[in-house]
Every structure is written in C-alpha cells, then in structure tokens.
Chain A
Amino acid sequence: MEANHTAAVPKRAPGSLRRRRRMLAWVFMLPLLVVNVLVILGPSVATIYYSFTDWSGLGPAEFVGLENYREILSDGDFYLAMWHNILWTLIFLTVPISMGLLGAFLLSQINRFQIFFRIVYFIPYVVASVVNAALWQNILDPDRGIGSTLASIGIPFLDGVSFFGSERLALPAVAFVNNWAWWGFVVLLFLTALQSVDAQLYDAAKVDGAGRWQQFINVTIPGIRPTLVFVVLLTIINSLLVFDYVYIITRGGPAGASEVVGTLMYKEAFERFEAGYAAAMGLGLSFVSGLIVLVFIFLRRRGWEI
C-alpha cells in the first residue's frame, strides 16, 4: 500500500515524528474541542457569571451579587416546583424500576419470543416525545377517552375525569406518560445485567432450597447491583432535570400544579426575560445533580458495595 512513500519514513528522526503525531493529534481533536467550547463549556462558564447579575437577555447585565440566589430561596413557585421534582423522583424510583425488574426477570426465564418482547418494550422509547404525548392526550381525554369508553360498558368511575386538567392529577398523569416511554429502556438495561449473572449461583441457591423469591433477593439483586445503582442514579438526575413531557403536555399547569424546576427556569428565561435569575436556577440545579453524582462516586470509592 502506498509503497512510493516508503523511503520518507525511516529517514525522519523518531523525535520529530512523535512531535508531528502530537500536533496531528490536536488537529484531529480540534473539531470536537471547538464545538464543545462554543456550545457547552463557554456558555456553562458564562452561566456562573450571569447568575450573579440582573439580566434580561438583551443589553448589559447588572452585577447584583447573591441577589438571585436569595430570591430563589424565598420564591414559593420554586419550592413548589422542587417539591414536584421530588414527587416525580419518587414515582420514577418505584414504578419503572419495579416494571423493569419484573420484565427483565421474566424475559431472562424464557427463550421463545424473547426477542419479540424486547423489541416491543423498546418501541415507545424510540418514538418522538411529542407524538407519545399527543396519543396519550387523546386516550386520556375526559370526553372521548378511556373514561367514557369504560363508562359505556358500565365502569363509570373514570368518566369525565380530566387527567391533565386537574390540579390533583396533572403531575402523576404526565409522569405516567413519561414512564410509558421509559420503562422498556429500564427492562433492557436490567436484562443485559441479568444475563451476566452466573447461572451456577442459581443452581447453588436451589440446592440450598431457596424458592424463586429468595433466589431473586439473594442471587438476582446482588448480581445486578451495579446496574441497579446506576439506574437509581440516572433516575434521580433525570427527575431533577425533567422538562420535555411536562412542557409538551401541561406547560406546568394547571395553575402550576405540574410545574417542575426545568419548566419554571425556562419560563423565567424566555417568557419573563429574567435571564440572570434563570441562570442562577440552572446553575443551582446543575450543582445539585453534580453533587449527587459526586456523592455516589465518593461512596463507591469508600468501598460501599453500591
């Protein structure tokens, strides 16, 4: 291959060749560094600065010190939104993880149709969130949705219930839709982990007379613990930062009943033109999620078996 260049290489001193390769390495790295500094690193650093300013997004920013942070800590809307994030986290730590464990465990026990079920469970995860939201808005419609259909066959308790329009139900209803698109992904994560659990451990447990439930608790759960911990971490972070489904379906309404910090911050920045305040909120949110990741890493380093 390219034999005509052969003569050039051996004559060059090894040192200069290494230098040339280093230079080339940076050239190859350059596109990634340029777009990353422009889009992520630069604006992230700017967020720190703007979080200390009163800034509308247009014109100059006025330095106000810690004023934005003081305001956040006395902002009732913020506390309500944060509370909704906590509820959201609790829902996603229980429902999809239980469904994921159940689905993955059952799938690991069968051969026939395993691929079929895997594909089916994964489909909602690859479908665009706007379409998922729209189809559930139709199915859960108070007048023409599942409530009225059930009522027509004699089960009236959901008739006329406005899932997304009621202050009590809006948040869990949006979480339900988001979970529908998410749990299949959790199944696949757990299934991959389950398939690497040593089958001999199950045999040993059976010899010891362990039933299915004991096998699940004593063999399955310890066997997939790294994945389980990872999914818990991913769930907490995603729940802190949730935006898409809330914004698409309810925009945080009715009357703030499904507002989360992600949507609140978005409104501050682009509807109320409080860009400095929004920057402080975004930085606080990122700080908390970064802190959670660091705590996990720290505990793992300290030898916790998580």
Chain B
Amino acid sequence: MSSATGSAGAGRGSHREPSKIPYYVVLTALALFALGPLVILLFNALKTNAEIGQNPLGPPLSPVFENFSNAWTQGDFATTMVNSAILTVGTVVGVCVIAGTAAYALDRLDLPGTDAVLLYLFVASAVPFQLFLVPLFFLWSALNLTNTLFGLVVIYWAIFSPFATLLLRSYLVALPRDFEEAARIDGASELQTLLRVVLPLSWPGFLTVALVSGLAAWNEFFFAITFIQDDSLKPVTTSFLAFQSDFSTDWGLTSAAGFIIILPIIVLFLFLQRRFISGLTAGGLKG
C-alpha cells in the first residue's frame, strides 16, 4: 500500500501523488448505482409497452412521447399537481411564518423560559409519528379536518416547524443586532423590525427552511395517505400509488407518471443543490 496519500479535506496532494484512477473508478460505479435506476425510469417512459416487453431495461430504440400526455390525463395530474402545489406552498409559507416569528421570539425578545421551549423543540423535531398518530387521526375526524388539504397542511406546519425554528434561530444568533437596535431607537415596532430589518438580512435561512419543508411536503407520503382518501384531493404521491396499481402492467405509462412527479424536484435541486444539501444535512445533524 502506498504511503503517499492526498491530504484529506481540501485534497491538495503531496508531491508524489499516487494515481487517483482507482478512486474515480469506484466513485463512478457508485454514481451509476445512484443514477442508473432513474435513467431506466426515463428510458421506460419513452417506450411503448410492446418495446418494454422486448427491451425492459435498455435505452428506447424509437422514443415515443405519448406516455407523458396519457399519464397526465389518466393520472389526473391536472388535479393532483394543483393539490400538491397547494400543500407545498401552504406548508412553506406557514412554516416560514410560524418558525420565523418563533425564532425571533427565542433569540431577540425576552421570552421567559427560552431553555424549556428549546428543549421542547428538540424533542418535538425528533418525536416519532407513532406516538401521536392514532389520537390525531380521530381528533382530525372529529374536527372534519380529514380529507381536507388544510387539515394536512396544519399537520405539516406542526411537524416541520420545530426543526425550522431551530435552524432559523441558529441564523439569527449569528446575525449582528446593530441594525435592529437602530430601527428600535427609530421607533419601529417589533413586527416592523422583523419584516424590514431581520428578514432581509436572514433570507438565506428562510430560503433553506423553505426548500427543506417544501421538499418534505411535496414528497410526503405517510400523512397524505392516512388523512386524504378522496381522489380529487390526493397529492401526486398517494395518487401515483393508486395509479400504479391500476396500470401495473403498463410500465411506460407508470414510468412517465413517476417522471412527471420527480422532474420539478430534480430541476430545483440541480439549481439550488448547495443550499438543499446544507439544509438537509443540517437537519440530519440536529436530530
């Protein structure tokens, strides 16, 4: 085994650098494992069912695009996309407001019992859904909130906002207070200070929270399948599950439907990957 290795971290090598080719071979194999199945999904979305029978995993020999339009109409994406958009936007806006005001109260206002609230937020962001699912379902039934998008959004607010508050608070702690003091001396109210001074300075934190909670809401499966049974209110995820079992043999159609669901997320991720990754790994590390 060679004793000369690139330094970890920046990875800038020492003088006698051993070949990095074996590294790239393994890394490429891992990349194929990660991306290959998604490429096969796209391939199958571009094939007729007859071609899938002949060639289930390879690239399409004569690509067709009808699967996308058929999946769009038969999967009723015109309805489910709107439902998912409402859930996602409602979650993002609500979580930003709820977590933004809470983080401001925790770090900038003299909230009595800040430590107790912080402890609660840590616990709440890690509480398993098994602990509250059953009574929550029957409470929501009693309040007529099952089978409503609003009822589902409120659940997302509650489960995403503890983590979002902790994340925003960590941004606020690092933010200098001079501008706020100036605004307060000028007589601005706390709400004005928050909206006109703190918000413009802490927008990266809000963007991260918006991306993480928006992604979670768009992809969310468990609460969506439990609380929404009405087909006309289903988001794309649970609607796709039903669509897949209805058309289980038509891989072209179901692959196209799957691709429609993941395309907006992949495009957004590619544009904002740095912020996505830092936000999601921060979530993982906070635990």
Contacts and interface: CB of A to CB of B under 8 A. Distances in A.
B183 interface: yes
A282 B135 CA distance: 11
B64 interface: no
Given A108-B8, A185-B284, A199-B9, A26 B277 contact: no
A28 B284 contact: no
A304 interface: no
Nearest to A122: B277
A3 to B, nearest CB: 6
A90 interface: no
A125 B269 CA distance: 11
A262 B7 contact: no
B9 A32 contact: no
Nearest to A233: B287
B1 A22 contact: no
A135 B255 contact: yes
B142 to A, nearest CB: 10
A73 interface: no
B200 to A, nearest CB: 13
Given A39-B159, A279-B134, A126 B215 contact: yes
B93 interface: no
A64 interface: no
A243 B23 contact: no
A121 B31 contact: yes
A279 B137 CA distance: 12
A47 B38 CA distance: 40
A129 to B, nearest CB: 6
Contacts of B3: 206, 209-212
A78 interface: no
Contacts of B130: 241, 262, 265, 281-282, 285-286
Interface string A190-227: 00101111110011001001111101000110000001
Interface string B22-48: 011011001101110110110010000
Interface string A84-119: 000000000000000100110011111101100111
B128 A241 contact: yes
Contacts, number: 339
Contacts of A40: 124, 127, 132, 158-159
Nearest to A22: B110
A146 to B, nearest CB: 7
A180 interface: yes
Given A138-B44, A285-B128, A22 B111 contact: yes
Contacts of A36: 120, 124, 158, 161-162
Nearest to A238: B128
A282 B131 contact: yes
Contacts of B240: 128, 130-131, 134
A265 B105 CA distance: 38
Q: Which of B9, B117, B129 has the most CB of A within 10 A?
A: B9
B82 interface: no
Contacts of A28: 101-102, 104-105, 109, 190
Give the interface size class of chain B.
35 or more
Contacts of A121: 30-31, 34
A262 B135 CA distance: 16
B128 A25 contact: no
B104 A282 contact: no
B276 A126 contact: yes
B274 to A, nearest CB: 9
B11 interface: yes
A230 B12 contact: no
B219 interface: yes
A164 interface: no
A201 to B, nearest CB: 9
A32 B161 contact: yes
Contacts of B24: 110, 113
A183 to B, nearest CB: 8
B237 A195 contact: no
Interface in B174-206: 182-188, 190, 192, 196
Contacts of B112: 22, 25
Contacts of A148: 56
Contacts of B183: 1-2
Interface string B126-147: 1111111111111100000000
B277 A38 contact: no
20 contacts: A26-B111, A28-B105, A31-B97, A35-B157, A36-B120, A38-B139, A44-B131, A118-B277, A123-B269, A127-B265, A130-B261, A134-B254, A138-B44, A139-B40, A180-B33, A233-B287, A234-B284, A243-B222, A262-B130, A278-B134
Given A25-B111, A43-B133, 14 more contacts: A32-B101, A36-B162, A38-B154, A40-B132, A42-B135, A47-B131, A107-B27, A109-B11, A127-B219, A141-B56, A202-B8, A209-B3, A211-B2, A211-B3
Report the 5 A-B pairs with minimum CB-CB distance, sorted nearest first.
Answer: A5-B187, A39-B158, A25-B109, A46-B135, A282-B130
